[in-house]
Structure 1
Amino acid sequence: MNIMTPQPVYRMMTSLILRARTVAVAVTMATALAAGSTLAHAQLETVEPVGEVSLVLGNAYIEHTDGRRSVAVPGSIIVASDRIHTAANGHVHIRFVDQALVSVRPDSRLEIVRYDYNPDQPASSSIKLNLEEGVTRSISGHGATAARERFRLNTPIAAIGVRGTDFVVNASSGAVRAQVNEGTIVMAPFSADCTADAFGPCLANAVELTGTSMQMLELDGSTTAPQIMPATVEREPGMMREEVNQAIAASEARADDKTAGTEEYLENVTAQRVKQEAANVARPTTPPTTPPVVPPTVAETNFTPELAIATEQLQQNNLIWGRFGSAKGDLERITAPFEIAQEGRDWMVGLGDYRLFRDSNGRDRVDAGLGPVSFELSSAQAFYDSGTGIVAMAVTGGKFDINFNTRQFSTELNMKHNLTGNVDFITSGLISETGIFHNRTGPEPATMAGAVSLDGKEASYFFEQQLQTGGIHGLTLWNKR
């Protein structure tokens, strides 16, 4: 992957500075006329910007160092010491001057503590973010890539350093979890040897996690060091990944003109997304009504059992889905109570009310020499959630192929319901040596993750996908052909 040259970044930063200073002058003049603003306040407004909001969904605002709050909108300038707050329906993307991308998800607070970046000397960068609460995703830019020992993401109880990374962090006052999509992170709890005011990764009680492990780090008050846990999926619309890929494609396509076009391309990508979301928000809506209970569409083939599979029969499989509580109640077909499913098995992946367990028999690596393997669908359960009600869908077919030599997989699942028509879930991704897999491509937004038995004879995954109205989700069980 070719990294864009810093010229477009510098050009963007210069543009942002001019805009910020223009705004600063206007704000200072208006404030002075209305209330006699002080010179100190005017100087505060001319702090150089470090980034710009590229996308806003729902409600969010920016809290400035002087206590002022402004509504976050596309184009809002971000400076060091700003805090981004998102409401329950809020989602904000920020593109920094070094081309780093940060996503602030609903019900979150992120502080930009420091962002010193010089395109002429990127190795001297100093970057520190502070996730006070909620979920954020960070894709490293030129600054963190060139100055890895000077990047830090703080949480209430732990520090995170990077090794050129794309990662997601979920933090609260007493716990923090992190997953890595690409690269490596280092997490360590705060201590006398790891203080919040320092930069870079800590060494004391630190644990490293790579994207290829397909696991997560978790730290809470019950442990002295982060623990490696099975992965859970963090929902993400995938817009940030698209911005990065589009920007790289633009820079490669226009290699003879590095100083122009890349920034405009990024703006166009973001603008199109914002226009689409605005159109959806602006579209008149009618009060929600509870959809009628409609039975699944009758199909020639339906891999959803008419009745729930007996727990005793599910226990004979190497892979078994456990559910918390009643989950979907009478609609459950291929799950067992959590307490039964976990007996003598290892937790592999999970989402919401469900956890997938495997009988690994003390091992943690798939058998060698499996090569390409095709699976046939054994059974599945799928649901359509309209936002006002949940109905079962008919699962009419599917295919699943894994190449253990290249550690890649692809799958397709075909579903149908009167309320949705035909729906195809199609995606592909990578599988680890532990047999855990998740998708990296597919319709946006769509997520899936699962595991195979260590002998390669069974496979299972959960999936979810947003539709134009509502969304679908479900579980699958597969056997080797």
Structure 2
Amino acid sequence: MHTEQFLHKLTQRFISPVKPGKQVLSLTMTALLFQSAAAYAQKNEHDQKKQPAAGHVSLVIGIAYAEGPERSKRQKLSSGMPVYEKDRLVTSSGGHVHIRFIDNGLVSLRPDSQLEIAHYTYNASMPEKSTIKFNLEEGIARSVSGTGAKAARHRFRMNTPIAAIGVRGTDFVVSAGKQDVRAIVNEGIIVVAPFSDQCTASALGPCNVNAVELNGLSKQMLEYNTLLDKPRLVPVNAPDLPDVSQQQSSAPEKKQVTASEQTSDQDQQASSESDNSSTEKDSTASEEQTAGQKTSGTNSSQTENTDNNTASDSSAIPDNTTDSSTADNEAASEGSDTSGIIQGADTDTTDEDIRETITDRLSDSLPGVIDYTPTAPLDTNALKRRQLAWGRWGQTMPNDVYMLKPGDLSGRKVTVGNTRYALYRLDTGATEVQAGLGDVNLNLRHAQVNYNEKGGSTDAMRVSGGWLNINFNNQTFRTGLTMDHNKTGDVLFSAEGDINKHGYFSSKTNDSQMAGAVSLDSREAGYFFEKQLENGFIEGTTLWERPE
């Protein structure tokens, strides 16, 4: 009903002959109803004018906000929320947010960043008439062009405080401050130019005056500051780079059994056992614990290659089933710290979301530069000082880089492992993780991963990055790794699941499996994993640390 019609009906109903004694009451009711009608009319007109969403939040880590004309107040972002043209997005010191736009474009913001969606008008029937413009006020953002930006490159712009960025079908990352700008291209081309009379912030598309072009194939970084006449290109191994990395099954199923809390005598016996006697150890452990979930598995990255490049080991993983209400009560009584928590809905979070998160979390690295696999075996004394350490049941292998020998594993207990090696934790007498740990993010410290090709060789892979989040409040974990080899291309491994009160966690999907443990103070973690590929499988081990 139109507002005019609504008011007319009210007038006809209440402006009518009344008895003198009821005149005052009638006039009062009329005034109140006219006031309500006016408020209704304003709300109705606002709702009719509300613009369609430009996109939605696909993933949130930590805290992020949005403010803009379509919002009555500043709103905390969560997965699935719409974002609008003119919205200003702000991330906290631990916040990440991913926005998926209506043309399938993507923008991800890293911590302490501010971005305005100045324009986002997508014309689905005529994409070349789309208009897309962002203002990165500060911080680090990644932009992946959608259909609109690809078709209307002359109408795309990302402004920074001191320079304009235009694109040509691009995936790029930019770090912006009030005095400097740095950018890296993962794919495509960007054009960066300082603001001037010929290159204004109000314009669209790339500028031409004092502009410098950066191609994703050049392995260079573009930087500009207020002391330069125009941007310049520098090598990718220059220091202080923005956070970015370019990221893009057949093994038989193996039976796994539980191996959680074991006695010190069993650990001492296990540490001296050879590969041939490890099955007995696994059997003993299974008698002491309820049988855990069965997952598929093979050797990890340091395993010996068999004739057919697969193995039928009986691996040990933890039982993550919480069979006591005590653990639930403990989890509920812990703090409600949400810094770093991933808020993307489980049903909506895709491998692409995880891939983008890994890209956002890599530590000042660039494509082809970083590898978390040590180039030489690590110092034994340094490994022995760690709370968590990998060790073999028998002799170490020539290509081991952080495996301890049985004689170096005294004073530790087995957490997870298989018949060839295990992850050992210092035995302090405690058996449960500390209370009140909250939500924890760990950085990848070391990794060793092999690709086992069907009927072929075993090759070491490059591990370019990863992240691990453990939420002790709700007893869950999420992790991801990026790897590559010239035989496989870029490979993503991701997993999520539950972690129990002993600090053991595991996960299984149709093509991958993993199991790991955390130190009782959550400062260290490790896991082994396997992922099946079309022509073979990859397997590896990892070590993680909390940032200081």
Q: Which has the higher contact order (CA 8 A, sep 6+)?
A: 2
- Bigger strand share: 1
With structure 1 as the length reference, what TM-score do the two structures score? 0.48
Q: Over alpha carbons, which structure has the higher Rg? A: 2
Q: TM-score, normalised by structure 2?
A: 0.43
